[in-house]
């Protein structure tokens, strides 16, 4: 074992040597998560909008999307591999499935939390069902919905690393390469590169969400 300082310098040197690959994999990771988050956000909000008024429907949707999360990611990737093949597709599909629950749940919660008096006054003014939903209810529920999307992003950044098992893109490659070389000098550096990369990507996403929250939430709701 070297003293700590030298370890860190060795590690930084290791990353520097592979800077192009690290950058490339990080961008892949960001793109992968962004695509999956966008898909689960759109689908999740839609499912929430369609079901929140009906107790049976919303319970069913939350139960179903909750069940997805109990499937071990490793198993789900392999399962999807049989259907859509290797590469990006199985990973994006699996991540989208994992991302649904927080979005659906927060959409439903957010919409149900809107003061019924606000909805009734909108109705009384002659706003149509659609206008009420899109102009009043959803914007008021938005901070809660956005929190759901943010939670799902945090979850997906981590799970996305495992996508490398089916040859998916992203920082998972470093981790799996490290696993394949256990007990060699580079193993720890490889795994560490993957982990640090994932953490940095997660922090970046969080910063983006903070900004997004500021830009898309009405001042009146803060």
Partner 1 sequence: MTERPARTTGSDRPMIRLEHLTKAYPRQPHPAVQDLTLDVPEGEIVVLVGPSGCGKTTTMKMINRIIEPTSGRIVLDGEDVTGADPDQLRRRIGYVIQQIGLFPHRTIAENIGTVPRVLGWNRRRIAARVDELLETIGMDPAVYRDRYPKELSGGQRQRVGVARALSADPDVMLMDEPFGAIDPITRERLQNEFLRLQSEVRKTIVFVTHDIDEAIKMGDRIAILREGSEVVQYDTPERILTAPADEFVSDFIGAGASLKRLNLSRVRDIELSRRPTVGEDATAEEALGVLRASSHPAVLVLDRQGRPRRWLGEADLKRADGRPLTSLGMPPEAVVEPHATLSDALNELIAASYSIATVVDGAGVYQGVVDIDRISDAIRAMRGHGRRPADTAAVEDGVHGPAGSA
Binding-site ranges for partner 1 (CB under 8 A): 115, 117-128, 131, 136, 139-140, 142, 218-221
Beta carbon of residue 121, minimum distance to partner 1 (angstroms, whole number): 3
DSSP H helices, 161-184, are 172-180
Q: How far is the CB of 180 from partner 1 (least distance, A)?
A: 52
Query: Please, which residue, 67 or 113, has the CB nearer to partner 1?
Result: 113
Contact 107, 137 (CB under 8 A): no
Nearer to partner 1, 24 or 217 (CB): 217
Please state, in angstroms and rounded to a whole number, the distance separating the CA atoms of residues 209 and 145: 12
Q: Where are the beta strands (DSSP E) in 1-99?
A: none
Which CB sits closer to partner 1, 211 or 221? 221
Cβ proximity of 103 and 41 under 8 Å: yes
Nearer to partner 1, 136 or 164 (CB): 136
Supply the DSSP string of 32-45, one letter for each residue: HHHHHHHHHHHHHH
Shortest reach from residue 145's CB to partner 1, in Å? 13
Q: Which of 180, 183, 113 is nearest to 145 (CA)?
A: 113
CB of 207 to partner 1, least distance (A): 24
């Amino acid at each position: 074992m070297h003293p700590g300082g030298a370890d860190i310098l060795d590690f930084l040197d290791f990353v520097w040597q592979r800077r192009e690959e690290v950058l490339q994999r990080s961008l892949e990771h960001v793109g992968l998560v962004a695509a999956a988050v966008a898909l689960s956000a759109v689908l999740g909000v839609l499912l929430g909008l369609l079901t929140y008024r009906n107790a049976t429907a919303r319970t069913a949707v939350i139960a179903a999307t909750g069940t997805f999360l109990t499937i071990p990611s490793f198993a789900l990737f392999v399962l999807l591999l049989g259907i859509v093949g290797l590469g990006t597709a199985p990973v994006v599909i699996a991540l989208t499935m994992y991302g649904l629950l927080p979005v659906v749940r927060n959409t439903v919660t957010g919409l149900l939390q809107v003061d019924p008096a606000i909805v009734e006054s909108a109705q009384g003014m002659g706003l149509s069902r659609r206008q009420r939903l899109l102009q009043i209810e959803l914007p008021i529920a938005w901070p809660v919905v956005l929190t759901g999307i943010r939670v799902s992003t945090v979850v997906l950044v981590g799970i996305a690393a495992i996508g490398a098992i089916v040859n998916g893109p992203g920082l998972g490659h470093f981790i799996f390469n490290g696993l394949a070389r256990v007990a060699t000098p580079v193993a720890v550096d490889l795994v560490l590169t993957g982990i640090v990369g994932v953490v940095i990507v997660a922090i970046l996403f969080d910063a983006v969400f903070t900004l997004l929250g500021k830009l898309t939430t009405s001042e009146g709701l803060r």
